[in-house]
Amino acid sequence: MLKLSKPIFPLVAIFLFIFISPVKGELFSGTSVLDISQGDGFDFSSGRLNSDEDADLLVGLDDDGNPTFLPPTVIKDMGEISMEEVREAPHKGEYSDGTSVKKGHTYCIVTKGNHYVKFFVDEKPEDAVMKITIRWVYQSDGSRELNSRAGVITSTTWGKIKALFR
């Protein structure tokens, strides 16, 4: 019996990791403030500001001085709908490189790592304050599903989970 238990333990461990892993297919969320005047960017996989060309979402001003999601952001304006109404991200061919910032609109993007994100613009900048507030949901497994039956994990929990696998 002892000889049989040694090969079974690794198989059980692999089964538990693959099929019961709490990270697989989870959605992670947060709220972030981006400063347009600083050209802020955001990396959704880490849940942090990232002001370089490697950011998944980059904000700034267009040629007319209007707040814009700048290229290389691959984005789709879903319209003036709630974020909860977007259950699945559009196919990759339906996105454009950048679009204007509109308060009350929900957007979907494809990240640099080929994951999908939906976010909602809560606040649009005024003349004196060049900041926008977004609420976002990031799909960790790369699928287009943005509606979770299991719930959403906040960005602080996401950081703790990622730290376990580093």
8-59 residue pLDDT tens = 555 544 444 444 444 446 788 999 999 988 889 999 988 899 877 789 999 9
pLDDT score, position 22: 44
Residues spanned by the domain of 112 = 31-164
Residue 96 domain flag = yes
Provide the CA 158 distance to its chain's centre, in angstroms: 11
Residue 15 domain flag = no
Contact 134, 31 (CB under 8 A): yes
More confident residue, 66 or 22: 66
pTM of the model: 0.73
Residue 125 domain flag = yes
pLDDT score, position 72: 84
Positive or negative, the CA dihedral 52, 109, 79, 87 is: negative
Residue 17 domain flag = no
Residue 143 domain flag = yes
Contact 25, 115 (CB under 8 A): no
Residue 24 domain flag = no
- Cα-Cα end-to-end distance for the chain: 36
Tokens of 80: 């003036």
On average, the pLDDT of the chain sits at 79
Q: Check whether 1 has a pLDDT greater than 80.
A: no
Percent of the chain with pLDDT over 90: 43
Please tell me the total count of domains within the chain: 1
Residue 136 domain flag = yes
Residue 3 domain flag = no
